[in-house]
Amino acid sequence: MTNPTRNEKGIIECYDIGGTNTRAAFIFNGQLKEPFVNERTDKRSVVSLVQQIQRISSSLRKKHPVLSESQIQAASLAFPGPVEGTILLGSKPLGFDEEIDFQNLLGDYFNIPLILGNDLNMASQGELALGKFRDTKNFCLLTLSTGIGVGVIINGSLYNRQTEVGHIVLEKNSDLANPCLGHRGCWAAQASGAGIEKTVEKMGLKLSSSEIFEDPRFQDVVNKVKKYNAYGIGNLINAYDPEKIIIMGSLGLKQFNKIIPEPDMIKKYTLLKNIPEIIPTSLGENIGLFGAYFSALNFLKTG
């Protein structure tokens, strides 16, 4: 980044709170300051999650003893769920159905501007600012992880609406359809990490998604996931006609070659002739942190 504005000179305390892991780091002038924190998300209760965030914040400060608290301009938190202001409107990956106002829970603790956002919307801004294909003005950012979500960039700007394409129903066979929020058989229920584990659990086995992908006994399950993804990605193309589809999320990045369908598979589910290039994000697992950072910068510039 060149010629940073006043707001870009400060440090942002960034959190990417996922259904599996929580990552946290200080980011300054577009650069992630190491060491950072990466640990399993405590989803037992809202109280335990808040305590975890506070503990991580304290740990970050201990890891950076030369850092002055006056340098930290804001705390920016990305959550897997819809957000309004500082309120998380429930989160399936975190197991929370209720609305949670984090300003009430963490505002006094941080005592600096607290910024909340949907993880995909935030990550999309990170991809647009720093990603390998940042000159691309129309793309979908697809996360394949504990859940499935989509962020959308149209004409170089964030489509700032909650898009729940991951909940399109694509499995009608009642024996195969996994349950979700008030429905069964949606893309997330069938092809997310949690959905894959649920499918194998029906076979009487309790395994992690990573174990499932390493076990040749479940090749039919993996092939089915690839077909579900072809259906889902076809619907993304029908809805947004993107130039590229960029993949993020632990499952998508680690199992990219096994679960991302070839263009010929996707063509069965879209009327558009051109299938866009599908690529993993060049920002890797830190994309959520960079998204939180750039979302905070935008907030501070306009707030």
| Axis crossing angle, helix 287-302 with helix 119-130, rounded to the nearest 10 | 90
pLDDT exceeds cutoff 60 at 260:
yes
| CATH number for the segment(s) 134-282 | 3.30.420.40
Weakest-pLDDT range from 9-23, 222-236, 245-259: 9-23
Position 5 scores a pLDDT of: 38
* Helices vs strands, H then E, count in the chain: 11, 13
Asked whether the predicted pLDDT for residue 161 surpasses 80, the reply is: no
- Asked whether residue 203 carries a pLDDT value surpassing 70, the answer given is yes
Mean pLDDT of 119-134: 89
Per-residue pLDDT reduced to its tens digit, 42-92: 999 999 999 999 999 999 999 988 777 778 999 999 999 899 999 999 998
* % residues pLDDT > 70 (the chain): 96
Q: How large is the average pLDDT for residues 26-38?
A: 92
The answer on pLDDT for 162 being more than 80 is: no
pLDDT over threshold 70, residue 218: yes
Calculate the average pLDDT of the chain.
91
pLDDT of 7 over the 60 cut: no
CATH number for the region 6-124+285-302 comes to: 3.30.420.40
> Which segments of the chain does DSSP mark as H helices, in order?
46-63, 102-110, 119-130, 187-191, 193-201, 209-214, 219-240, 250-254, 256-259, 263-266, 287-302
**Does the structure show a pLDDT above 50 at 20?**
yes
Query: Phi/psi class of residue 249: alpha, beta or left (left: φ > 0; alpha: ψ in -120 to 50)?
Result: left
What is the pTM (predicted TM-score) of this model? Answer: 0.86
- Rounded Cα–Cα distance for residues 292 and 80 (Å): 12
Checking if the pLDDT of 14 tops 90, the result is: yes
Asked whether the bond before 113 is cis by omega within 30 degrees of 0, the reply is no
pLDDT at 32 over 70: yes
Residue 281 has pLDDT above 70, yes or no: yes
Kindly provide the b/e burial profile for residues 257-279, where b requires at least 16 CB atoms within 10 angstroms of the residue's own CB.
eebbbeeebbbebbeeeebbebb
Q: What is the pLDDT of residue 4?
A: 35
Q: Which residues contact 180 (CB under 8 A, 6 or more apart)?
A: 92, 167, 186, 188, 189
Q: What is the mean pLDDT of residues 256-263?
A: 97
Distances (CA, A) of 264 to 60, 85, 144: 47, 42, 21
Query: What whole-number distance in Å separates Cα of residue 250 and Cα of residue 181?
Result: 22
- Residue 10: partners with Cβ closer than 8 Å, 6 or more residues away: 28, 71, 72, 73, 74
Residue type, 135: D
Q: Using alpha carbons only, what angle is made at residue 277 by residues 275 and 283, rounded to the nearest 5 degrees? A: 150
Helix (H, G, I), strand (E, B) or coil at 1: coil
CATH 3.30.420.40 maps onto the chain at 6-124+285-302, 134-282
| Range with the poorest average pLDDT among 6-10, 40-44, 67-71, 172-176 | 6-10
